Amino acid sequence: MSDLAVSPTRTAVPPKVLRRSAAARKARYSTIKMWVGALCTGVVVVPVALARVLPLPDPVHGVLRETSLPPLSPGHLLGTDPNGRDLLSRILHGGQTSLLIGLLAILLSGLIGIVAGAAAGYFGGWVDTVISRLLEAQMSLPLLLMLLLVVALFGPSILVITLVIAIAQWPEPARLTRALVLVEREKPYVAAARVLGLGRLRIIARHIIPNILSQTLVVVLLLLAQAVLLESALSFLGAGVQRPYPTWGGIISDGRELFVTGAWWLVTIPGVAIALLVLGVNLLGDGLRDRVRRAKAVTS
Amino acid sequence: MSDKVGMSGATGAGPGRGISRRALLQFAGLVGAGTVVGSALSACAGPQGAGGATGSGGGGKLSIVLNRNLVSLDNKLNQYDAAVTVQRAVRQALTRIGQNLKPELVLAQSFELTAPTTWTVKLRDDIHYSDKSPVTVEDVETALKYYFQVKASFVAAQFPEQPVFAKIDDRTFTLTTSKPLVTLDSLMSNILITPAKANKPEELREGIGTGPFKVASADSGTGTYRLVRNENYWGEKALLDEVNISYQEEEGGRVIAITSGQADVIDTITPESAAALKKNNDIELIQEPGTRLIHLFYNFRKPAGHPLTNPKVREALSYAVDHDSLISSLMNGVVSSAEGVVPKTLAGFVRTGQYAFDPAKAKQMLAAEGVSKLDLTFIWEESEFAGAARVMEALVSMLGDVGVTVKLKEIPKGGEINAWRRGEAGDWDVLGNGYGNQTGLAITNLQGQYGGTAEKEKTRDSYHGFVFPEISGLIDQAGSEPDAAKRDALLKQAQEKIWALSPAMWAWTPDNVLAKRKRVTSLELSPANSYDLSKVRVSG
How far is the C-alpha of A109 from the C-alpha of A103, rounded, in Å? 10
Task: Report pLDDT for B519.
Answer: 92
Distance of residue A254 Cα from the nearest chain B Cα, in angstroms: 8
DSSP codes of every residue in B447-504: IIII-B-HHHHHTT-SSTT-B-HHHHHHHHHHHT--SHHHHHHHHHHHHHHHHHT--E
Distance, CA of B266 to CA of B523 (rounded, Å): 12
Tell me the pLDDT tens digit for each residue of A151-171: 888 878 888 888 988 888 899
pLDDT of residue A109: 94
**pLDDT band at residue B371 under the 50/70/90 scheme:** very high
How far apart CA A47 and CA A100 sit, in angstroms, is 14
Give the minimum alpha-carbon distance from B401 to chain A in angstroms, rounded to a whole number: 10
Peptide bond into B160 cis (omega under 30): no
Residues in B closer than 8 angstroms to A67, CB to CB, are 329-330
Identify the pLDDT of residue B382: 80
Pairwise CB contact (< 8 Å): A83 & B394 = yes
Does B270 sit within 8 Å of A243, measured CB to CB?
A: no
Higher pLDDT, B64 or B37: B64
Average pLDDT over residues A258-277: 92
B389 lies within 8 A of chain A by CB: yes
Nearest to B352 by CA among B342, B343, B339: B339
pLDDT of the residue at A186: 92
Specify the higher pLDDT residue, B266 or A13.
Answer: B266
**Of the candidates B535, B520, B515, the residue with the CA atom closest to the CA atom of residue B255:** B515
Query: In this predicted structure, which of A141-145, A186-190, A272-276, A292-296 has the lowest mean pLDDT?
Result: A292-296
Looking at beta carbons, which residues of chain B come within 8 Å of A243? 389, 392-393, 396, 408, 410
A255 CB-side CA count, 13 A: 28
Question: Cα dist. B79→B216, B347, B412 in Å?
Answer: 22, 21, 20
Q: Cβ of B252 and A238 within 8 Å? A: no
Range from A181-195, B144-158, B315-329, B418-432 carrying the lowest mean pLDDT: B144-158
% of chain B with per-residue pLDDT over 90: 54
> Hey, is the C-beta of B251 within 8 angstroms of any chain A C-beta?
yes
Q: How does residue A133 score in pLDDT terms, banded at 50, 70 and 90? A: very high
pLDDT tens digits for range B146-198: 998 887 677 887 788 899 999 999 999 999 999 888 889 999 998 999 999 99
Q: Which has the closest alpha carbon to B94: B158, B170, B173?
A: B173
Q: For the packed helices B251-260 and A248-259, what is the interaxial angle rounded to 10 degrees?
A: 30
**B284 touches A at CB < 8 Å:** no
Q: How confident is the model at residue A297 (pLDDT cuts 50, 70, 90)?
A: low
| Contact at CB, A254 and B390, closer than 8 angstroms | yes
pLDDT tens for A277-287 read 999 999 998 88
Q: A63 to chain B nearest CA, in Å?
A: 9
Checking if the pLDDT of B361 tops 80, the result is yes
Q: What is the pLDDT of residue B334?
A: 86
Q: Is the ipTM of this complex over 0.90?
A: no
Query: Do the chains contact at B326 and A62, CB–CB below 8 Å?
Result: no
* pLDDT beyond 60 at A97: yes
pLDDT at B36: 57
Amino acid at B319: Y
pLDDT at B34 over 90: no
- For the stretch A45-75, pLDDT in tens is 999 999 999 999 999 999 999 999 999 999 9
- The pLDDT score that the predictor gives to residue B55 is 39
For residue range A208-227, what is the model confidence (pLDDT) as tens digits? 999 999 889 988 988 999 89
CA dist B540 and B524 (Å) reads 20
**Strand spans (E) along B69-158:** 95-97, 103-105, 108-115, 118-123
B285 touches chain A (CB under 8 A): no
Of B445, B500, B510, which is closest to residue B470 (Cα–Cα)?
B500
| Mean pLDDT, range B387-408, rounded to an integer | 94
CB contact under 8 A, B330 and A62: no
Q: Which residue has the higher pLDDT, A77 or A23?
A: A77
Contact B408 A243 (CB under 8 A): yes
Q: Rounded to whole angstroms, how far apart are CA atoms B436 and B438?
A: 7
pLDDT tier for residue B38 given thresholds of 50, 70 and 90: low
Interval A188-215 mean pLDDT: 92
Quick one: pLDDT at residue B6?
36
State the nearest Cα–Cα gap between A59 and chain B, in angstroms.
Answer: 11
Please indicate whether, in this complex, the C-beta atoms of A261 and B276 are within 8 angstroms of each other: yes
Residues B485-501, mean pLDDT to the nearest whole number: 95
pLDDT, mean of residues A81-85: 94
- The pLDDT of residue B46 is 37
What is the per-residue pLDDT for B517? 95
State the Cα–Cα distance between residues A278 and A37, nearest whole angstrom: 9
pLDDT tens digits along A113-130: 999 999 999 999 999 999
A258–chain B Cβ distance below 8 A for any pair: yes
CB B327 within 8 A of CB B335: yes
Question: What's the pTM value of the predicted model, to 2 decimals?
Answer: 0.78
More confident residue, B462 or B195: B195
Residue A264 has pLDDT above 90, yes or no: yes
Name the average pLDDT for chain B. 86
Mean pLDDT for B448-473 is: 89
